[in-house]
Structure 1
Amino acid sequence: MPLSRARRFPRSRASVRDARAFVREVLTDWGHTDRLDDITLCVSELATNALLHGVPPGREYCVSLALDGSVIRLAVRDSGDRHLDVDGPEADLDACSGRGLRLAREVADDLGVTQEVVGKSVWVAFKSVPPSECAREAAY
């Protein structure tokens, strides 16, 4: 049976730090820490994008994690009406911003956008090594 956890965060810069802490706590509880750095980077980028482009004033965004077998899925859902094209043009290499989705695409095994009735969910998926396999590998 898949595991899942979700938490809502306010529209504030400090919430990105709190979203990273939430992800670290959940993955540690589940014993899936082999991709912790990659997933933490992605939640930081996706939460920042939600704050800057997707969460209208006075609203929140939601970070969810799901574990199904050896796949961890992280999603950040906002309530904004801005459409996001993850396959659109990349940021200029000299630009000071605009690289968040590019970073997420590079470290995740899959990335996509799900349009919701209100807003959208930007998600990334990671193949993870089950804790029992990590323990066996460490024993050798």
Structure 2
Amino acid sequence: MNETMQPSLLRERFCRRERRSVAAVREFAGAAAVDWGFGVRLDDVLLCVSELATNALLHGVPPGRGYLVRLTVEEQGRALVLEVHDSGGGEPVVLEPCGESGRGLLLVEALADRWGVGDRDPGKVVWCVFSKPGLPEPGPGPM
């Protein structure tokens, strides 16, 4: 590795298909964001991880399976990347809110600098990127 390059920082947590996993993953993601100097974006990171984990539970994780949350710091420390991997099918899309539901990806779209969906076998990865304020915008997402 080139000495001038910062290694990619990585934290992962596998979560069981249960509602209490969302609170645990918020705590996990919050600690990583603060440790890596993204505390100024903490509220955005926590809300997005909650929404993506909840979507994975409700729409992407078949019974008996779980989901993976991965956080990395990339772009020489300028970007925090949040990924939620699940084994379910379907393509996540931003919907018009209906009653008390349907706001998850709308919030992710509003709070993250970028977001998207990638393929995995089986399932998908929903990711979003948070850049540090005051630094140049990082490049495209992880997929």
TM-score (norm 1): 0.84
State yes or no: 1:47 paired with 2:53: yes
Answer whether contact 1:32 1:129 (CA < 8 A) is retained.
Answer: no
* Aligned match of 2:37: 31
1:46–1:85 CA distance, 2 compared to 1 (3 A): closer
Corresponding residue SS for 1:103:
helix
Q: State the 1:129 CA deviation.
A: 4.4
> Out of 59, 71, 79, which is 2:87 matched to?
79
Structure showing the higher helix proportion among its residues = 1
Q: State the 1:31 CA deviation.
A: 2.6
Answer whether contact 1:91 1:97 (CA < 8 A) is retained.
Answer: no
Answer whether contact 2:14 2:66 (CA < 8 A) is retained.
Answer: yes
Corresponding residue SS for 2:40:
coil
Q: Encode CA deviations 1:64-103: one digit per residue, 9 max, x unaligned.
A: 10101201110101011x22143x5x224x5220110000
Aligned AA (1:112): G
* Aligned match of 1:123: 127
* Aligned match of 1:9: 15
Distance in 1 between the 2:25 and 2:121 partners?
23
State yes or no: 1:110 paired with 2:114: yes
- Structure 1 gap ranges (5+): 131-140
TM-score (norm 2): 0.83
Answer whether contact 2:33 2:45 (CA < 8 A) is retained.
Answer: no
Distance in 2 between the 1:28 and 1:108 partners?
17
Distance in 1 between the 2:100 and 2:40 partners?
30
* Aligned match of 1:137: none
* Aligned match of 1:133: none
